[in-house]
């Protein structure tokens, strides 16, 4: 039972569950536009979950659940990319033509979404043990680009929907936890030692 619970395949299945009704909707002839919001939300949610694991691990160093999550954070980061990629593809389909895409590409709510997507690509591509080994210390520097992606995602969310509330509900906890981590580091308090592969997106 324990081996099943720790199976990466089960974890991937859980991460893929939200995509099942979306895929069924498309296969049955549904339009792309209704799926733009949920794919974007899940991309943001998985990114946020991946980012809050480290400060929560600092906050609760003896908690086994956050250690368990730390070791699976890479999966969450890649899942965030997959939903963001689906969100982008659906957006392109919904726009229909290159002229329509270019026509709103300079809008703040749009180009911030593209920026987040382009940042996600190298983060996802290098979220593997081989890249960690090859890049060394530069790997973690590259992965820190997720902070820029998070800011871009927040702006994209706010300005596309013209609604600050839902975006803040997701990003305020992330901001608070990241400020806590900065405070811990500034005080030079002991941190939890984990291996490099426990830092898929930091």
* Per-residue pLDDT in tens (0 to 9) along the chain, 202 residues: 567 678 888 999 999 999 999 999 998 988 999 999 999 999 999 999 999 999 999 999 889 999 999 999 999 999 999 999 999 999 999 999 999 999 999 999 999 999 999 999 999 999 989 999 999 989 989 999 999 999 999 999 999 988 888 899 999 999 999 999 888 888 765 544 444 444 344 4
Say how many domains are in the chain: 1
Q: pLDDT at position 162, please?
A: 83
Helices H / strands E in the chain, number of each: 12, 0
- CA nearest 94: which of 80, 107, 106, 110? 110
* pTM assigned to the model: 0.87
Q: pLDDT at position 192, please?
A: 47
- CA nearest 79: which of 102, 49, 111, 114? 49
15/76 Cα distance (integer angstroms) = 8
Q: pLDDT at position 2, please?
A: 62
**Helix %, strand %, coil % for the chain, to 5?**
80, 0, 20
Q: pLDDT at position 101, please?
A: 94
Buried b (16+ CB within 10 A) or exposed e, 33-50: eebbebbbbbbbbbbbbb
57/50 Cα distance (integer angstroms) = 12
Q: pLDDT at position 4, please?
A: 67
Contact 47, 80 (CB under 8 A): yes
- CA nearest 7: which of 72, 65, 55, 74? 72
124/2 Cα distance (integer angstroms) = 28
Q: How would you write 81-106 as a 3-class SS string?
A: HHHHHHHHHHHHHHHCCHHHHHHCCC
- CA nearest 39: which of 75, 83, 81? 83
- For 23, the domain range is 2-198
Q: pLDDT at position 38, please?
A: 95
- CA nearest 47: which of 136, 156, 135, 137? 156
Strand boundaries in the chain, DSSP class E: none
């Amino acid at each position: 039972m324990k081996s099943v619970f720790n199976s990466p395949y089960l974890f991937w299945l859980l991460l893929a569950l939200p995509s099942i009704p979306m895929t069924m909707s498309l296969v049955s002839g549904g339009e792309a536009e209704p799926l733009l919001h949920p794919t974007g939300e899940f991309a943001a949610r998985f990114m946020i979950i991946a980012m809050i694991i480290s400060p929560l691990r600092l906050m609760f160093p003896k908690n086994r659940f956050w250690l368990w999550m730390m070791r699976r954070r890479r999966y969450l980061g890649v899942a965030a990319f997959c939903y963001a990629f689906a969100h982008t593809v659906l957006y392109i389909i919904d726009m229909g033509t290159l002229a329509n895409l270019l026509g709103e590409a300079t809008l703040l709510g749009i180009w911030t979404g593209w920026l987040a997507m382009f940042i996600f690509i190298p983060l996802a591509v290098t979220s593997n043990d081989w890249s960690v080994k090859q890049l060394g210390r530069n790997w973690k520097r590259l992965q820190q680009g997720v902070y820029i992606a998070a800011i871009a995602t927040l702006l994209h969310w706010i300005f596309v929907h013209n609604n600050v509330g839902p975006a803040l509900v997701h990003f305020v906890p992330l901001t608070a936890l990241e400020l806590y981590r900065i405070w811990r580091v500034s005080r030079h308090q002991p941190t939890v030692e984990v291996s490099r592969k426990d830092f898929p997106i930091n």
